[in-house]
Amino acid sequence: MKPVPAYAPLLTRYETMPYARTGKSGLLLPRLALGLWQNFGDVDLYPTGRSTVLRAFDLGITHFDLANNYGPPPGTAESNFGRMLRSDLAPFRDELIIATKAGYRMWPGPYGDLGSRKYLLASLDQSLKRMGLDYVDIFYSHRPDPATPLEETMGALAHAVRSGKALYVGLSNYSPEQTTRAAAILRDLGTPCLIHQFCAHMFNRGPETSLLPVLKDEGIGGIVFSPLAQGLLTTRYLNGVPADSRVGRGAESTKWIQLTDARIAQVRALHELAQKGGRSVAQLAIHWLMRHDTVTSVLIGASSPAQLNENAQGIESYQLTAEELAEIEKILASS
Ligand SMILES: NC(=O)c1ccc[n+]([C@@H]2O[C@H](COP(=O)([O-])OP(=O)(O)OC[C@H]3O[C@@H](n4cnc5c(N)ncnc54)[C@H](OP(=O)(O)O)[C@@H]3O)[C@@H](O)[C@H]2O)c1
């Protein structure tokens, strides 16, 4: 007798989430994607992570973003996601776009970091094993390696596709100039760059004018990470630092969160503006990024299904009015 699947996804899951074409490719991605950088490692509660991932799929979020080093400890986000695939999502593999990356320190010695062919391809094999997959949909170079020829790193990505272990390739944290060069190499190798993953949010606007024009010219899709500034652009920190928040838990990455009085005042003003339009401040921050047509997808993190519910609500009518956009400019200029 066939085992009964533990999870049956909602039949309504494709009714509200908008999907966009990734650059000039044929691949549609959900405008909201879920990343497993934090909250899905062995230090976290597996049942919460599982219900968050399953809630995402029920909301039409078909794209899950991982990397070899996500956890902590490194590797455990992939092994926990692999467990969810086995127990719940395996029957829906063809409805999922699963990404992983290599580029940061993963194992000791000279072959466990950066951008050599040796590291990238060994790491991809390890990621596939941890997730129990034959292939990933997107394999990224997680960061540029100044000491390895770009041709070698791009050659490793193209090889991953030729060997059937990845369907598409992407770049992350590459500068506009590095992106142009890498895209040309990938084109010559017959494996066009699908997507570029970069950090942008209301308090980090550089990529809007530096990177997005390059992505448009190259026909590469953009996926924005940390769109909520790791939680700062939500109501999380409006009344102090909750013990269960990313800052409260003392996550190392929070050294990048600007938890100053001036920033909190801006978030409060954004929150009030959002409320007037019937949105939450998190929704405002997400919808604001979605106004760029080069931004295929906004890649959020979440520590609970409730956060996902909030962030996905109203995604189908994301357009902000000219007045809201002008008001946001005023608030952002007030720092
Ligand atoms: N390529 C790269 O180098 C790179 C680097 C960083 C991230 N990424 C990718 O981007 C993904 C997202 O990054 P991120 O986690 O920093 O994104 P984010 O969306 O800016 O921050 C997510 C955090 O914000 C808080 N949050 C989210 N929704 C909330 C809500 N409605 N109300 C209150 N708090 C809310 C939660 O923090 P609490 O834990 O406090 O609840 C959540 O964990 C990662 O998982 C990863 O896939 C890639």
Count CB neighbours of 316 within 10 A. 12
For residue 180, the CA-to-ligand 1 centroid distance in Å is 28
Q: Is the shortest distance between the CB of 38 and ligand 1 below 6 Å?
A: yes
Ligand 1 atom having least distance to the Cα of 306: 31
Cβ(301) to ligand 1 under 6 A? Answer: yes
Distance from residue 301's CA to the centre of ligand 1 (Å):
3
Distance 250 CA to ligand 1 centre (A): 14
Q: Look at the chain and count its residues.
A: 335
pLDDT computed for residue 129 by the predictor: 98
Q: Is 225 in the pocket of ligand 1 (CB under 6 A)?
A: yes
Q: Give the amino acid at 243.
A: A
**What percent of the chain lies above the pLDDT cut of 90?**
95
Q: Compute the distance from residue 267 Cα to the ligand 1 centre, in Å.
A: 16
Please report the pLDDT score of residue 6 as a whole number. Answer: 75
**What is the atom index within ligand 1 of the atom nearest the CA of 246?**
40
Tell me what the mean pLDDT of segment 160-174 comes to.
98
Q: Is 35 in the pocket of ligand 1 (CB under 6 A)?
A: yes
3-state class (DSSP) for residue 58: helix
Quote the CA–CA distance of 229 and 142 in Å, as a whole number: 19
> CA 286 → CA 107, 240, 320, distances in Å?
35, 23, 11
For 79-94, write each residue's pLDDT tens digit: 999 999 999 999 999 9
Among the listed residues 52, 124, 60, 34, the one whose alpha carbon sits nearest the alpha carbon of residue 88: 52
- Give the integer Cα–Cα distance in Å for 111 and 105: 9
Vertex 234 angle, CA 252 and 208, to 5°? 80
Q: Which of 17, 14, 32, 55 is nearest to 309 (CA)?
A: 55
pLDDT at res. 254: 83
318 C-alpha to center of ligand 1: Å? 20
Is 31:19 a contact under the CB 8 Å cutoff?
Answer: yes
Residue type present at position 334: S
Share of the chain above pLDDT 70, in %: 99
Domain at 28-332: CATH architecture:
Alpha-Beta Barrel (3.20)
> Rounded to two decimals, what is the model's pTM?
0.97
20-49 pLDDT, tens digit per residue, is 999 999 999 999 999 999 999 999 999 999
CA angle 288/282/225 to nearest 5° reads 70
Residue 4: pLDDT over 80 = no
Q: What angle do CA 103, 106, 109 make, to 5 degrees?
A: 105
Convert the pLDDT of each residue in 105-117 to its tens digit: 999 999 999 999 9
Q: Which amino acid is at 10?
A: L
> Which of 32, 36, 37, 44 is the best mutation target for the ligand 1 pocket, counting ligand atoms within 8 Å of the beta carbon and taking the most?
37
Do 138 and 101 form a contact (C-beta atoms < 8 A)? Answer: no
| Distance from Cα 3 to the centre of ligand 1, integer Å | 35
Instruction: State the distance from the centre of ligand 1 to the C-alpha of 27, rounded, in angstroms.
Output: 24
**Mean pLDDT, rounded, of the chain:** 96
Taking Cα atoms as reference points, which of 209, 275, 263 lies closest to residue 231?
263
Domain boundaries, the chain: 28-332
What is the rounded average pLDDT of the residues 321-333?
98
**Vertex 289 angle, CA 55 and 214, to 5°:** 120
Q: What CA–CA distance (Å, rounded) separates 84 from 225?
A: 23
Report strand pairing: 193-199 vs 19-21: unpaired
Query: Given a cut of 90, is residue 1 above it in pLDDT?
Result: no
d(CA 89, CA 34) in angstroms, rounded, equals 15
Q: Using pLDDT thresholds of 50, 70 and 90, give the confidence band for residue 252.
A: confident
